[in-house]
Amino acid sequence: MILGRLLMRLLLVPLGASFAICVAVMVVIAAHWNRFTELVATNPDAGDDLMIALVFAGPTIAFILSVSALAMMLPAAIGVLISEAFAIRSWIFHAANGGIAAWVGWRTMVEMREPYDFYNGPLIVVGAGIAAGFAYWAVAGWSAGFWKPVFAPRAAPRSIDQVRARG
């Protein structure tokens, strides 16, 4: 039974982290949507050159995003390890873990965020972290802890007569 739950956790935790990253990216894109459209609208011929620019700039953008995601995921991984070790299943814990991890990652990326305007808003970064933490909880955090069953039968409450009989 424990081995089965451990294997389930080994699948659910990375899946939850993947969903959390996707949700955080969607929040950042939604928050900066006007800036994205302004960048595209500055050059009316950008629609034709957009695919060529993406092919050449894509690896650089992917590298920058992966480094920033790594800087924010390392503190979040510590919180996930704590929740798995102590079977903390609270959505508040996971949302706070996401927000704190995003803020810590944002504070450690000082050199990286200076040339890019998209990382200058701490409110957006922390909001994306909170949304990512909630997404992680929805996929994997609600059943944290491989050693503690999720749907265990509860012990029946003792009546007053049983308590008095035991002394």
pLDDT (tens digit, 9 = 90+) per residue, 8-28? 888 899 999 989 988 988 888
Task: Tell me the average pLDDT of the chain.
Answer: 79
Q: Would residue 163 count as lying in a domain?
A: no
Q: Would residue 85 count as lying in a domain?
A: yes
Domain that holds residue 96: 18-34+54-144
pLDDT over threshold 90, residue 129: yes
Q: Would residue 96 count as lying in a domain?
A: yes
DSSP labels for 46-113?
HHHHHHHHHHHHHHHHHHHHHHHHHHHHHHHHHHHHHHHHHT---HHHHHHHHHHHHHHHHHH-HHHH
pLDDT over threshold 80, residue 100: yes
Q: Would residue 108 count as lying in a domain?
A: yes
pTM of the model: 0.74
Please, are residues 12 and 146 in contact by the beta-carbon 8 Å criterion?
A: no
Q: Burial, 104: exposed, middle or buried (Cβ in 10 Å; 0-12, 13-18, 19+)? A: middle
Q: Which of 26-40, 65-79, 118-132 has the lowest mean pLDDT?
A: 26-40
Q: Would residue 82 count as lying in a domain?
A: yes
- Please give the tally of structural domains in the chain: 1
